[in-house]
Amino acid sequence: MGNNRIFKRNDTIKWILKMTVGTFFLAVFFGFISQLLLQNIEVFVLSLLLLLIIIFIGILSDTIGTAAAAAEEAPLNSKATRKIFGAQKGVFLVRNADQVANFCNDVVGDITGILSGAVAAVLVLQLVHAQEMELYYRIIMTAVVTSITVGGKAWGKHLALRRSTEIMLAVGRVLTTKDIIIHKITGKGSSA
């Protein structure tokens, strides 16, 4: 029994290290992509659309992470035994809820939070070029981004806690479809 704890602790340490290093590289990648996009976006509306997409990704990811932590395995197991499409992946997600929640809520959530702040700052600069009200724009943009993010995540958590099985099944379907497409293209991985 003592050895089991050592293995679990070592697995946990490995997971934490992978997430830390992985988050660094994901943040660099997404930061680079968003800055590249923003440098080429001169239109305020397109920048605003990019901001809303980033916020939506953060809300969706937070909802998935919360649903994984809240879901019970039994209903998904039942669906998996009846060969319902995506249920097997849903079971996998629930069995690994700590890692799913960590990745979705912390890694993706934090990266999208930082990116939304950076994009909001660019939007403020675009507005400032048009008028001389930088302080007001910063305050308003910060308030808008924060309120949309917090309100969206609150709604997402509410939904995740009440519909966790359905959310895990939907995510399982998306991941299963992705696996099938990759298998068809490369011939590698799982076909279902």
What was the pLDDT predicted at 44? 73
Give me the domain span that covers residue 18: 2-70+97-164
Cα-Cα-Cα-Cα torsion 6, 8, 10, 14, nearest 10 degrees, comes to 180
Asked whether residue 179 is domain-assigned, the answer is: no
Q: For residue 191, is pLDDT > 60?
A: no
- The HSE-up count of residue 121 (CA atoms within 13 Å, CB side) is 9
Residue 147 maps to a domain: yes
Residue 83 within any structural domain of the chain: no
- pLDDT value at residue 149: 87
Find the angle CA(183)-CA(171)-CA(84) to the nearest 5 degrees.
75
Q: Is the residue at 79 inside a domain?
A: no
For the entire predicted model, the pTM comes to 0.77
Predicted confidence (pLDDT) per residue in 22-60, tens digit: 777 777 777 777 777 666 666 677 778 888 999 999 999
Count how many domains the chain has: 1
